Amino acid sequence: MVAEDNKIKYGFVVLHYMAYEMTVECVANLLQCFKNDNIKIAIVDNASSNGSGRQLADFYKDNNKIDVLLNPKNEGFARGNNFGYRYLKENYSPEYMIVMNNDVLIEQQNFLTKIEQIYRKTKFAVLGPDIYCPAVKKHQNPAHLKGFEKREVQQLYNTISKYCVHPAFYYYKKETFGKLKQKILKRPQNVDTIDHSKAMENVVLHGACYIFSINFMKQRTDCFCPDTFLYMEEDILHYECMISGLKILYSPEIRVKHLEDVSTNVSVKSGYKKFKMKNREMERSIAIFLRLISKEGEDT
């Protein structure tokens, strides 16, 4: 039981890995936007080898709105965020939890007010904002309009496994995972074809920023499937929410800016190395997703 004077209304989880300046910019943005709001920010350092986690802990040691959590090992996207999610839930009992990349900036002063207004109307479990990426001049939410079927996940796994066996061949052919999904799903995956000006229910949300309501937190110990290291978290989350009857909502009434892939770019410079790493982790995550869908099919 969380003491009444420890409770907060809005919790933020900011996952940090290596990119010190970006995390500081992200947190400064939150403090500026929400200086008068009842917030707590949990920065989760995923065992950054450059010592930036301890730098952050020292930098924010006197700020009572920020707790820096030093993960003893790099546990990837899902478990890193789960660490922060559980910490805020157990220690501060927030009504809303915003889990966001450290390369996301919020410039909308009424962002939190809007979240509460949307919740009152819709009782969402998971909410996704309009995510704009200036680097590519694209709106990234929703990621796509419907989730994967089992046969599609199996096809993704079969093909990504080939990428892992022959990485150089597919790298120089410029075969990206995005192109792979388009080939296999045979339906538009380009967010340019989606009207992001309209609110939509139960779509697959982009992973850069999620807002979880009390409805979600009452049911879920973790925000993401803890078995993955990187990739497919958004697709697995969508699947689990649909199975559990948890409402997902995309709303253009709230907006964020996404600077994209900062931590990955800091830690993996080479294009070929990054390609190999992405495909290896993607293969593992798709295998986990496939087992999840197959198990659900056996249980029903």
- Show the beta-strand stretches assigned E in the chain: 10-16, 39-45, 66-70, 96-101, 104-105, 126-133, 138-139, 200-201, 209-213, 248-258
Go through 214-230 and write b for each residue having 16 or more CB atoms within 10 A of its CB, e for each that does not: eebbeebeebbbeebbb
Higher pLDDT, 174 or 300: 174
Measured torsion, CA atoms of residues 237, 238, 239, 241, in degrees rounded to the nearest 10: 80
**In angstroms, what is the C-alpha Rg of the chain?**
19
Question: Is residue 102 very low, low, confident or very high in pLDDT (cuts 50, 70, 90)?
Answer: very high
pLDDT, one tens digit per residue, over 107-163 is: 899 999 999 999 999 999 999 999 999 988 999 999 989 999 999 999 989 988 887
Q: Could you tell me the sign of the dihedral formed by the alpha carbons of 17, 21, 26, 28, in that order?
A: positive
180 vs 57, 117, 133, 158, 174, CA distance in Å?
41, 39, 22, 11, 11
Above 80 in pLDDT, residue 268? no
Query: Tell me, what's the pLDDT at 171?
Result: 62
Instruction: Share the mean pLDDT of the chain.
Output: 89
If DSSP states are collapsed to H, E and C, what string results for 67-109? EEEECCCCCHHHHHHHHHHHHHHHHHCCCEEEEEECCEECCCC
- Higher pLDDT: 96 or 165? It is 96
Provide the percentage of residues in the chain whose pLDDT is more than 90. Answer: 70
pLDDT, tens digit, for every residue of 72-91?
A: 999 999 999 999 999 999 99
For the stretch 152-207, pLDDT in tens is 999 989 988 887 787 666 665 666 656 666 665 555 455 567 889 999 999 999 99
Cα separation, 179 vs 239, whole angstroms: 22
pTM over 0.85: yes
Predicted confidence at residue 185, as pLDDT, reads: 57
The number of beta carbons lying within 10 Å of the beta carbon of residue 45 is: 27
Q: Is the pLDDT reported for residue 70 higher than 70?
A: yes
Q: Looking at residue 299, what is its pLDDT?
A: 55
